[in-house]
Amino acid sequence: MILDLLKKFTTLWVILVLFAIFPIFTNLLDLPFWNDVVMRIMLLGMAAMGLNIVFGFGGMVSFGHAAFMGIGAYCAGISQYYGIDNGWYQLLLSVLICGVLGVVIGFLALRTSGIYFIMITLAFAQMLYFFVVSLEQFGGDDGLIMDRSDFIFIDLYEPLRLYYLIFFTLAIVSIMLMLLIRSRFGVILQAIKSNENRVEAMGLNPLKFKITGYVISAIICGISGCLFASWQEFVSPDIMHWTRSGDLMIIIILGGLTYLAGPLVGAIVFLLLEEFLPDLLHIIMPSIAENWMVIFGPLLIVVVLFGKGGLMGVLDARFKIGFNKVKT
């Protein structure tokens, strides 16, 4: 079975291996800053993979998943505020709270579809955002400065410990998703995206599967957010601003939403551009460097318009070396 997964999800494995060995190079070249960039890529990539369960596989355009990242982050931040530094506990708390919120929001929002679903998920996310802003005790708008959580046996202040904690979490999430997406549940979720009426006529209740998918995706975003707090050593409502929900969607579309590796590819390209496009522009076109979005936006539009299936779709069409779409 492992061999089978290795064959089917080549791109994803290649990316994971690159992440695993990346610190060797930064160490040799003495560029520790790059580790930081890649940690951010892994965290947002993980959240985007989570969102893609509903977005890409289930065809549900949820515009509020940053809220779950925020909930995860605040689970870490608030726990620490009360002196509970244990990172494992914080992770568990994130999973539980995001799971419960996922059930509640999913149960209500998934009764709608299309534009209404987009709006209602955005509304819930905004609700949670302003709820967090109103928590004066925990910094409100200004957020909460915190230390890295205490993952027993793993001292996150040792070099690279946080990097590999994030990496292994991403690897575990990836492998779970490889299995999930080809399982009976995953197949039915994709069948619902393809034709909900037919699935219903087969005697399955689509809502059950959609809610389950929604909860799983919420939990993955929560885990990402909880680790994000340790990475940033700071939690603020910013993490769950609606623009981040938009970023997650852009990352997915950029990478290719019908591919399991799509969100990771998207996160790599998106965040590298975000990081280095301004610097690059400073060199070639200083006049617009401040407004690097002017270049970034059209770039995204080009990929979406001409690269059907995102960057993975372009690679797939160009090389035909067995990039596998998620279904098979």
Partner 1 sequence: MTKPVLELRGIQKHFGALKATDNVTLKVEKGEIHALIGPNGAGKTTLISQIFGDLVPDLGEILLDGNIINNASVSDRALLGIGRSFQISNVLMDFSVLENAIVAKISQTRETFRFFRPAFSDPRLIDGGLSILKKVGMEHMSNRKVSDLAHGERRLLELALALAMEPLLVLLDEPMAGAGPVDTISMTKVIAALKGDTTILLIEHDMDVVFELADRISVLVEGALIASGRPDEISNDKLVREAYLGSDE
Please tell me the distance from the alpha carbon of residue 322 to that of residue 234, in angstroms, as a whole number: 41
* Straight-line distance from the first to the last Cα atom of the chain, in angstroms, rounded to the nearest whole number: 14
Least CB distance to partner 1 at residue 285 (A): 42
Could you say which of 103, 119, 133, 191 contacts partner 1 (CB under 8 A)?
A: 191
Q: Which is nearer to partner 1, 137 or 328 (CB)?
A: 328
- Taking phi over 0 as left and psi of -120 to 50 as alpha, with beta for the rest, 235 belongs to beta
**Contact pattern for partner 1 over residues 46 through 85, marking x by CB under 8 A:** ----------------------------------------
Establish how many alpha carbons lie within 13 A of residue 144's alpha carbon, considering only the half-sphere containing its beta carbon: 28
Return the H-helix or E-strand segment holding 297: helix 293-306
Least CB distance to partner 1 at residue 54 (A): 15
User: Token match 């985007």: residue?
Assistant: 48
How many residues bind to partner 1 according to rule CB under 8 A?
Answer: 29
Residue 307: name the closest of 267, 262, 260 by CA: 262
**Contact pattern for partner 1 over residues 4 through 23, marking x by CB under 8 A:** x-------------------
Is residue 85 within 8 Å of 149, Cβ to Cβ?
yes
Which distant-in-sequence residues (6+ apart) come within 8 Å of 23 by Cβ? 35, 160, 163
Q: Is 195 in the site for partner 1 (CB under 8 A)?
A: yes
Is residue 297 within 8 Å of 273, Cβ to Cβ?
no
Return the H-helix or E-strand segment holding 298: helix 293-306
**Contact pattern for partner 1 over residues 156 through 185, marking x by CB under 8 A:** -----------------------xx-xxxx
Of 101-109, 131-139, 192-200, 233-241, which segment contacts partner 1 by CB under 8 A?
192-200
Of 101-109, 133-141, 157-165, 189-197, which segment contacts partner 1 by CB under 8 A?
189-197
Q: Which residues make beta-bridge pairs with 325?
A: 259
Least CB distance to partner 1 at residue 33 (A): 39
Q: Is 27 in the site for partner 1 (CB under 8 A)?
A: no
Q: Which is nearer to partner 1, 39 or 53 (CB)?
A: 53
Which distant-in-sequence residues (6+ apart) come within 8 Å of 55 by Cβ? 61, 62, 249, 252, 257
Q: Which is nearer to partner 1, 101 or 326 (CB)?
A: 326
Both tokens assigned to 85: 């530094």
Could you say which of 11, 149, 174, 212 contacts partner 1 (CB under 8 A)?
A: 212
Q: Is 137 in the site for partner 1 (CB under 8 A)?
A: no
What are the phi and psi torsion angles at 42 (to 5°)? -65, -40
Q: Is 186 in the site for partner 1 (CB under 8 A)?
A: yes
Least CB distance to partner 1 at residue 62 (A): 20
C-alpha dihedral (110, 116, 118, 123), degrees to nearest 10: -90
Q: Is 40 in the site for partner 1 (CB under 8 A)?
A: no
Could you say which of 194, 243, 246, 301 contacts partner 1 (CB under 8 A)?
A: 194
The contact set with partner 1 (CB under 8 A) reads 4, 179-180, 182-188, 190-191, 193-195, 197-206, 209, 212, 327-328
